[in-house]
Structure 1
């Protein structure tokens, strides 16, 4: 039962990451993405749950081995790493000139690497 719940919430996380990435890609091509929120709300509504849910999924099913869940955790971590790399590669805007992009993308890389490590642990079990 816990494994099924972990698979569902990790699948939801992957879906949120894909929607988030698609919305950011659309918003770069036009003025606004298909979700009518600014980047802060989009990050809190889609990005934060997408980073937390796979970790919860790992810990609620920590005693049950699952290669599928491990692969999903790795996929989620890779999507987060790709998002962080895309954030670093974007040209800074006028209002973001004073911010340090590396300090903002650093937590993304840490969470992505942590999820990949959890996925590898889940596969090895």
Structure 2
């Protein structure tokens, strides 16, 4: 049962990351820098990015003693999506007055990829 719940919340994380990326892509393609969601950059990051980072970590810990290559794969996919987003942010100019810390962009991705690998290797 815990594996199913963990896979669902990790799937939600992946969906949030896809929605986040799509909204950013739309906002970068128009002159107003507005996405299809009525959110500014901070709201988008906190509302979509925050849960997308936390949910796979919760999924890992609620299934700590259980084996699951599928869940490990989903956690790695979530980490890779965060990594891709971080790389995209590095290659785009930051809004005026905003500083981007590369460590803060990549640390969650590396943690999730490591947790996913642990979950897979544990089998």
Q: TM-score, normalised by structure 1?
A: 0.92
Which protein is richer in helix relative to its size? 1
Aligned position for 1:117: 114
> Shift of residue 92 of structure 1?
3.1
- The DSSP-based 3-state class of the residue aligned with 2:64 is coil
- Structure 1, unaligned runs of 5 or more: none
The CA RMSD over aligned residues, in Å, is: 1.0
The one of 37, 40, 54 equivalent to 2:39 is 37
CA offsets per residue over residues 22-71 of structure 1, 9 Å max, x none? Answer: 00000000121100110001111000000000000000011111010000
The 2-side partners of 1:41 and 1:14 are apart by 18
Aligned residues: 120
Task: Tell me how far 1:95 sits from its aligned partner.
Answer: 3.7
How far did 1:107 drift? Answer: 1.6
The 4+ residue runs of structure 1 with deviation greater than 6 A are none
The gaps in structure 2 that reach 5 residues or longer are none
Q: Does 1:18 align with 2:18?
A: yes
